[in-house]
Structure 1
Amino acid sequence: MTFSPLAPVVRAVARPSRLVAAAQAAVLTLLVAGAAGWTVFDRTVTLEVDGRAQQVRILGSEVSDVLAAAQLDVGGRDLVSPAPGETVADGDTVVVRYARKLTVADPAGVETVYWTTELTVDEALSAAGLRTDDAWLSSSRSARIDRDGRSVVLSMPKAVTLVADGQTRAVTTPAPTVRDLLAELSVELDADDRLSTSADEVLAAGQTVTVQRVSVADVVEAVAVPNTATTVEDPEMFVGDDEVREPGAPGEQSVTFSVVTVDGVEESRTETARTTVREPVTRVVAEGTKERPKPPPPAPRPAAPAPAAPAAPSGGSAPSGGSSSGGSSSPAPSVSGDVDSLNWAALAACESGGNPTIVSSNGRYHGLYQFSTSTWQSVGGSGNASQAPASEQTARAKALYARSGAGQWPHCGPRLFG
Structure 2
Amino acid sequence: MVAAALLVAGCGGGGGAKAAPTAPVADAPKVSAPTPRKVVLVVDGKRSETMTTGATVQEVLAQAKVQMGKHNLVKPPLEAPAATTKMIKVLRLLSAPVTKNVKTPPPTVKKKSSKLPPWSQKVLRKGKPGIKVVQTAWVKRRGKKVKIIIDQKVKRKPVAEIVAVGPQSASAGSAARLNWAGLAKCESGGNPKAVNSAGGYYGLYQFSLATWASVGGTGLPTNASPAEQTYRAQMLYNKVNGRWQGQWPHCGKFLFT
Give the TM-score normalised by the residue count of structure 2: 0.49
Bigger relative contact order, structure 1 or 2 (CA pairs below 8 A, ≥6 apart): 2
Which has the larger Rg?
Answer: 1
